[in-house]
Amino acid sequence: MSIIDFKMPKIKFKKMKINPMEGLEDIDYEKLQKKNTKQKRSTPYEDRTHYKTIREAFLNSVQKYPKEDCILEKPTHKDPYKITTFQEFKDDVWALGTALIKNLNLQNKRVIIIGETQYGWYVSYMAMLCGVGIAVPTDRELPINELENIIKRSRASAIIYSPKKASEIKEIKGKFPEIEYYIEMASNKPLEGKDVGLNYLITLGKNIIASGDKYFDEIEIDPEEFKILFFTSGTTANSKGVMLNNRNLAENINAVTAYVKLYPTDRLFSVLPLHHCYESTIGFLYPLSQGASVAVCEGLRYIVPNLQEAEPTAILTVPLLVESLYKKINEKIVQSKKDKLVKKMILVTNALKLAGIDIKRTVFKEIHENLGGKLRIIVSAAAPVDKAIGEWVEDIGITFLQGYGLTETAPISALTPEYKTCVGSVGKPIVQADIKIDNPNEKGEGEILIKSPTLMIGYYEDEEETKRVINSEGYFHSGDVGYMNEEGYIFITGRSKNVIVTQNGKNIYPEEIEMLLDRVDEIRESMVYGKKNEASTKKEDKELIITARVIPDHDKIKELYGEKTKDEIYNIIWKKIKEVNKTLESYKAIKKLEIKEDEFEKSSTMKIKRYKELEKSC
């Protein structure tokens, strides 16, 4: 629910020499072939987990891996990553939980957590899930009036906030007498009135535990009890409160372990906002349940140096970031004048891989080094991604996975199995889910319906809307349109709310056309929609005009064509759109172009808020 004008910073990679032949003579091909010609898996892993609560999953990892890395965060940009072990993290979680209950009397109360990704956020959220009360993760980019609305709607008793939010918290303090405490992350401030520091509470809690108090140890979690309140991003409508329980989140962990193996040696790189269910569940709770660690990215402008320092093995991200990395790496390859050689080596290594000889990480070693050197998995979700980009990720030796779900499914309802990827699909239904296509058309497309133990309790204080989206058989109407192939892989073609219906009943999904436009070098971003024909006075002329609202890539245009006027830029892009139209069925062709100079309004997961954009004019 962020009104953030998201703009990818300029990602800088060092100059590449690209020598794909280096090191090939040292490979034992026969040994490698024997290792890789074992029978390939086609079914889910049998040893998936069966956790009922997050507390159970977390304590299991603490018991098995107490001294292993858990959370890595940089105190300042110049400092190296500070490592917190599983035991140290558990001690802080238990201490904070004890203090929140014993000193602040917040057990079973609602607590807002707001701020950028940092250690204090992780500790606060885990303490809530392990027994304190109801967590309300909140978007740090909210304007103050919307934050006030969340405080009112959630009926929060406390707010845990980052230091960067201190001025906003100060501004709202006098407006909410019902807020009992304002707790500042990374602060040692003693309790004074309603204000207290998070670190102070952790120290206080440790002293209470040291005195013999074991209350937090004895808390029992009801897996079905309402424990998390997420407010949706509101990309298609006003935000709704989604009520989740421990079982919803635990079943996400159980689902992923059936399709993807994560090990204590793995490290996830956290780049997305934690208030979003996607990052906090799959990017935080899931790796911790497997004994893996999480390294915090300082911010998108530091992504490359942070990747190279943290050396993650997996990244959870969104298409916009994957596309940016793809473009920047390939620009460096072109600059090295080795792009034709790289393409040839991709063909060669793909052929060898089919024969059981995978040498991709050796051949494309320099590309891997730019991404930290150990990256083995990239997971993209939250929006459609260009199939060509996903294939390129796999071509260079990184497993490319896609996930599908919504906040209402906490969030995963489908995921690509790592043992049988299918680029272009959002994956197969998770093992616990029953997913079906409602009323499919001649192409097999219809609304995706989901029945799953990850499905929410319901919408907060909105029983009518809950009944509208969850039918009498327990299926959730996702609002997404797609189809399922014979192997059970799901393909999303669009949002039912975004669909453009022609006069003769044809359905046009904007996302399909946008993906083609986003491949154009001269276009940075696009949004396609059906525009009313305002010029016509004829009542019978109701056909919508397929319109592309485009943000030009001015840097690329300048590089390719030199300095150009606005009219010249329009003509360049219109010419490119005509080329795209040639690849489309005639009724899908773009008829009108709008040039947009400012940023699209986006949610915190970088999806365009269409309903907001359509209220504006370029």
Q: CA 367, 371, 373, 379 torsion: positive or negative?
A: negative
Q: How far apart are CA 602 and CA 551, in angstroms?
A: 14
CA distances from 599 to 3, 240, 562 (A): 11, 25, 23
C-beta separation of 71 from 294 below 8 A: yes
Indicate the domain borders of the chain: 79-251, 500-613
Q: Note the pLDDT tens digit of each residue in 212-234.
A: 999 999 999 999 999 999 998 64
Instruction: Between 288 and 238, name the one with better pLDDT.
Output: 288
pLDDT at 605: 62
C-alpha closest to that of 222 among 251, 245, 242, 243: 245
Q: Note the pLDDT tens digit of each residue in 440-477.
A: 988 899 999 999 999 999 999 999 999 999 999 999 99
CA-based angle 617:593:529, to the nearest 5? 65
Topology of the domain covering 79-251: Rossmann fold (3.40.50)
pLDDT at 237: 43
* Interaxial angle between packed helices 566-581 and 554-561, expressed in degrees from 0 to 180 and rounded to the nearest 10: 90
**What class, spelled out in words, does domain 500-613 have in CATH?**
alpha beta
C-alpha closest to that of 288 among 310, 256, 317: 256
Number of other CB atoms surrounding residue 440 within 10 Å: 15
- Evaluate if residue 39 carries a pLDDT over 60: no
Q: Note the pLDDT tens digit of each residue in 153-208.
A: 999 999 999 999 999 999 999 899 999 999 999 999 999 999 999 999 999 999 99
- Evaluate if residue 5 carries a pLDDT over 80: no
C-alpha closest to that of 380 among 396, 356, 400, 354: 400
